[in-house]
Amino acid sequence: MKRLFIPLFLLSACSLAEAEITVLECARLVDVERGRLLENQQILVEDNRIAAVGTGVDAPDDSNRIQLDTCLPGLMDMHVHLSGQMSRNGYIKRFQNNAADAALLANHYANITLQAGFTTVRNLGDSYNVTVSLRDAISSGVATGPRIFTAAKTIATTGGHGDPTNGFRKDLMGDPGPLDGVVNNADDARQAVRQRYKDGADMIKITATGGVLSLAKSGQNPQFMTDELDAVVQAANDYGMTVAAHAHGTEGMKRAVSAGVTSIEHGTFMDDEVIKLMKERGTYYVPTISAGRFVAEKAEEDDYFPAVVRPKAASVGPQIDETFKMAYGRGVTIAFGTDAGVSPHGTNALEFVYMVEGGMPEMEAIQSSTMTAARLIGMEDQLGSISKGKFADIVAVNGNPLEDISLLSDISFVMKDGKVYKQP
């Protein structure tokens, strides 16, 4: 029998490739699975996974040890738009920015989001499908940012919220179709879903009703027929994708929930019938209070929004707060989401403050951004808690966020996939 000869330089390379071991020494740890706060906990991280959690975990003497105050699972925002950010001149930028500009902005805002403690996001609509490439660049280590689940280009209807030519001068409008995410019948809807799959999207985003920021009069009217919604959901399910539905108005929400969408985004004017349907169907609610408050504030500034947008922004913002209180009180499943990109990137954690002000206890608010969010994206076995075997997505703050939820706006430590991106 031949003996296997391994050169010494290869043995050295093998030893260098051994698992990197880090021990996080946490004065407190938020156990989101059991809804409790633990003291003096250690988290053993090997490469990109959590290997053990407890008091006095067994680790080599030469392990990298980091002292932290309160440790939490990596936070997740289920509604962001990384490829841009609302500003006073935001509408004209659509005619000035190129695809490269959108890509560079997305990279910049992704890093800001990660530094804020959000290690996973759903990107619900972008320009030029740039977050598909950004997702892959982050996964391969070329770029820095959160783990991205992207819908790429939103699917809308002609003239509806999400039509990329809405509000354009007539000779610039053209006739966008399914390739551009604009549909007018069930066949178009199926084609648009399949195109998003071809483009590399992880999921589907539709605009089931009018929107606040589109250059159109109504922010509430239903914009998909029931057969179109059925076609979207069926095609998405066939391709292993979920469907998120932007919806402000009641009728559009009822149609979307009945068709089987996975989540309702904003849900501004939901009523008792919508809530009953959502609970029956297990539909998630992503409130985006941050965006509502931001647009309501900016609606008071002269010339910040176009004239057709301003009254919509003024009415929708305050209503989202009231809807959140009602939905939480009625037991709707709520997943954390901000609509960052409307509200400023990096301020995502303000949503926790607004949720607690709306009656949700601090622990439940944190769970909405961890365990519930992980279930929404189908990653509950890999993300959402500090548990053995899950990805090492861990953040920390100084102080106890269960006593002061605003502390989550000042993240002191960020680890994603076992790599430290920020530390005291």
Domains of the chain, first to last: 18-74+384-422 (2.30.40.10), 75-376 (3.20.20.140)
> Is the separation of the CB atoms in 132 and 401 below 8 Å?
no
Which residues, 6+ apart, have CB-to-CB distance to 168 below 8 Å?
Answer: none
Query: pTM value?
Result: 0.94
**How far is residue 160's CA from residue 90's CA, in Å, rounded to a whole number?**
19
**According to the 3-state scheme, what is the secondary structure of 224-267?**
CCHHHHHHHHHHHHHCCCCEEEEECCHHHHHHHHHHCCCEEEEC
Give the rounded distance of the alpha carbon of 156 from its chain centre: 20
Contact 412, 69 (CB under 8 A): yes
Gap between the Cα atoms of 68 and 412, Å rounded: 9
The tens-digit pLDDT sequence of the chain (424 residues) is 333 334 433 444 443 345 689 999 999 999 999 999 999 999 999 999 999 999 989 988 888 999 999 999 999 999 999 999 999 888 888 888 899 999 999 999 999 999 999 999 999 999 999 999 999 999 999 999 999 999 999 999 999 999 888 888 888 888 899 999 999 999 999 999 999 999 999 999 999 999 999 888 888 999 999 999 999 999 999 999 999 999 999 999 999 999 999 999 999 999 999 999 999 999 999 999 999 999 999 999 999 999 999 999 998 888 999 999 999 999 999 999 999 999 999 999 999 999 999 999 999 999 999 999 999 999 999 999 999 999 999 999 999 999 999 999 999 999 999 999 999 8
β-bridge pairing 413-416 and 394-397? antiparallel
For residue 273, the SS3 value is: helix
CA distances from 282 to 159, 267, 334 (A): 31, 15, 11
CB 3, CB 31: distance < 8 Å = no
CB distance 37 to 30 below 8 Å: yes
For the chain, the farthest-separated pair of C-alpha atoms sits apart, in whole angstroms, at: 85
d(CA 368, CA 360): 10
